Structure 1
Amino acid sequence: MSIDISTHTGDFTSLNGDYDLDAAHSSLEFVARHAMITKVRGTFDDFTATAHIDGANPAESSVDVEIKADSIDTRSDDRDAHLKSADFFDVEKYPTLKFVSTKVTVTATNEIEITGDFTIKDVTRSLSIPFEFTGSATDPFGNERVGFTGEVDINRKDFGLTWNAALEAGGVLVSDKIKLQLEISAIKRA
Structure 2
Amino acid sequence: MATWKIDASHSEIEFKVKHLMITNVNGFFTDYDATVEAANDDFTDAKITFEAKVDSINTKNEQRDGHLKSDDFFNAAEFPVIKFESTSIVKKDNEHYKLNGNLTIRDNTKPVELDVEYAGVTVDPWGQTKAGFELSGKISRKEFGLKWTATTEAGGIVVSDDVKLLANVQLIKQA
TM-score band, normalised by shorter chain: over 0.9
Task: Give me the whole-angstrom Cα distance separating, in 2, the residues matched to 1:114 and 1:36.
Answer: 28
Contact 1:84–1:90, Cα closer than 8 Å, also in 2: yes
Are 1:147 and 2:117 an aligned pair?
A: no
Give the number of equivalent residue pairs: 175
Q: Secondary structure at the match of 1:60?
A: coil
What TM-score do the two structures reach when normalised by structure 2? 0.95
Contact 1:33–1:174, Cα closer than 8 Å, also in 2: yes
Match of 2:83 in 1: 98
Task: Give me the whole-angstrom Cα distance separating, in 1, the residues matched to 2:173 and 2:118.
Answer: 15
Task: Give me the whole-angstrom Cα distance separating, in 2, the residues matched to 1:126 and 1:180.
Answer: 14
Are 1:108 and 2:93 an aligned pair?
A: yes
Contact 2:44–2:91, Cα closer than 8 Å, also in 1: no
Task: Give me the whole-angstrom Cα distance separating, in 1, the residues matched to 2:40 and 2:155.
Answer: 50
Stretch of structure 1 that moved more, 54-63 or 16-25 = 54-63
Match of 1:4 in 2: none
Cα deviation code 1:76-102 (max 9, x no counterpart): 000000000010000000000000111
Q: Return the match for 2:120 from 131, 135, 148.
A: 135
Contact 1:58–1:105, Cα closer than 8 Å, also in 2: no
What TM-score do the two structures reach when normalised by structure 1? 0.88
Contact 2:79–2:106, Cα closer than 8 Å, also in 1: yes
Match of 2:105 in 1: 120
Q: Return the match for 1:174 from 150, 159, 166.
A: 159
Distance 1:70 1:34, change over 3 A: same
Identity, in percent, stands at 39
Q: CA RMSD for the aligned pairs?
A: 1.4
